[in-house]
Chain A
Amino acid sequence: MDILVGWWDDYFWGSVVVAQVFVCSLILMIIFGLIGAAAKLSDNFIAQKLANGYTIVFRGTPEILVILLLYFGSAIALTSIAQIFNPDIKFLDVPPFWAGTIAIALIVGSYATETFRGAFLGVNPGSIEAARALGMSNLQTFIYVRVPEMWRLALPAFGNHMLSLVKDTALISIIGLNETLFVAKQAIGTTGEPFIMYIVVGLIYLGFSTIITLSVMGLERFGQRHLVSSQ
């Protein structure tokens, strides 16, 4: 364990980065997933096709490739825009944190699109009719009836998406985000102890995924509270 002395604080700050990426990408992932599902279920032909294109592309390409393409693609675009105003600029990029966060949110969001779509279809149509018959608008019905019934159905698969999300943060090290895997690579370069350094990373991720799994279990119990009969 002496070998790890001096690296603990690097691992700690790496873990903080993992947590930050996870929280930001989780919020974005839910938004992308809800928009995708709403588009797929809408009557609008163009919205349907766009959402189909989205899920085909992001579910059908390697995640690491999406991260690279998004990072370098956005950097090239930014650089060429900046060069219009100042020709001396050689390279300008979107911060790896945001490029990576958006990339993994888009990827996992494409899976969440399908999860949410299926869950929305599982909502009892009778509840929706009752809401309409009471004079509630489409938006009110969506917020107060569809989503609260949908999320309970989506939760088991959604828990998997959260695990994918936290594990995908490790991929962002490839564009230079200093999360735990990035720290491990530096530590290996100095100490020459790959096994120990990678095991630490593994344990950190196991810690994160355990917290997520327990939270999902708690949420599932909360979501089922009205299904437990009083007897």
Chain B
Amino acid sequence: MTSNAVIQMKNVGKSFGTFQALKGINLEVAKGERIVVCGPSGSGKSTMIRCINRLEKHDEGKIIIDGKELTDQVDDINAVRREVGMVFQSFNLFPHMTILKNLMLAQRLVRKTSKAEARDTAMQLLERVKIPEQADKYPIQLSGGQQQRVAIARTLCMKPKIILFDEPTSALDPEMINEVLEVMTDLARYGMTMICVTHEMGFARSVADRVIFMDAGEIVEEAEPKAFFSNPKNDRTKKFLSQILSH
């Protein structure tokens, strides 16, 4: 066990009824590491990262985040969630609040920051994702790419140690994918610990320290991007890569 691992998953299993979504997952992520998770749909990628901030409860094994084990203790879960940001496929902005309020809400309620400070942080991060001029609009008035950038900014407002991305570009029109990937690449450059479920193999190649391939609830293969793409070892990985890279 490396001492600087911020995420440790030990033999984690999860079932939905009779369907076993995760089987014996072992994963360690070091501080500042950027992991891309890929695999066919239904392979357990989303379930795995949703277990990390306990949006799903694992029913076997151990998950330790930044030294704290995930249990049923509500206070502990909220403490962990403060440090683990998540960006969703469908953005999940609060529709009844302006962009600025979306960014300020959790800072005020969870971090207990002052109104002025929350506003400053929010505006800085809107600058960083390059849409400060949208601060007073409502989510529905923004394009998908803009909404996803706001969602990333909302997560960053909490100053998390880790950010989980759950297929952040899958719901976007093709011309908006790049603006979101640019923001993510920027984050990676600044040393954010990231786990990213995505099929954007270009992003994986240029940004990831490690690529993980999952199938049927298991981690089938993990390797550095270069080795992963040029020399996959497992037959299932080869098949998957040939399918998504063939066109």
**A interface residues, Cβ below 8 angstroms from B:** 124, 126-127, 129-137, 140, 144-145, 148-149, 152, 225-227, 229-230
Cα-based distance from A145 to B30 in the complex (angstroms): 34
With a CB–CB cut-off of 8 A, which chain B residues contact A148?
A: 94, 96-97
Whether A129 and B55, one on each chain, are in contact in the complex, defined by CB atoms closer than 8 angstroms, is yes
Cα-based distance from A226 to B97 in the complex (angstroms): 8
Known: A135-B82, A136-B106, A136-B109. Contact between A229 and B141, CB under 8 A? yes
Whether B53 and A226, one on each chain, are in contact in the complex, defined by CB atoms closer than 8 angstroms, is no
Query: How many Å from the CB of A25 to the closest CB on chain B?
Result: 28
Query: How many Å from the CB of A8 to the closest CB on chain B?
Result: 45
Q: Which of A129, A134, A137, A149 contacts B158 (CB 8 A)?
A: A134
5 further contact pairs, Cβ within 8 A, besides A133-B55, A144-B109, A230-B141: A130-B86, A135-B110, A135-B158, A136-B110, A226-B98
- What are 6 sample pairs from A and B whose C-beta atoms fall under 8 A apart? A132-B55, A133-B55, A149-B96, A226-B140, A227-B138, A230-B137
Known: A126-B88, A126-B92, A149-B95. Contact between A134 and B154, CB under 8 A? yes
Query: How many Å from the CB of B102 to the closest CB on chain A?
Result: 9
With a CB–CB cut-off of 8 A, which chain A residues contact B144?
A: none
Q: Which of A130, A152, A225, A230 contacts B94 (CB 8 A)?
A: A130
With a CB–CB cut-off of 8 A, which chain B residues contact A135?
A: 78-79, 81-82, 106, 110, 158
> Looking at chain A's contact residues, is the secondary structure mostly helix, strand, loop, or mixed?
helix
Using CB atoms, name the residue of chain B closest to A144: B105
Whether B95 and A133, one on each chain, are in contact in the complex, defined by CB atoms closer than 8 angstroms, is no
With a CB–CB cut-off of 8 A, which chain A residues contact B43?
A: none
Interface core residue of A134, A137, A144 (most chain B CB under 10 Å)? A134
With a CB–CB cut-off of 8 A, which chain A residues contact B106?
A: 131, 134-136
Whether B95 and A226, one on each chain, are in contact in the complex, defined by CB atoms closer than 8 angstroms, is yes
Whether B82 and A130, one on each chain, are in contact in the complex, defined by CB atoms closer than 8 angstroms, is no
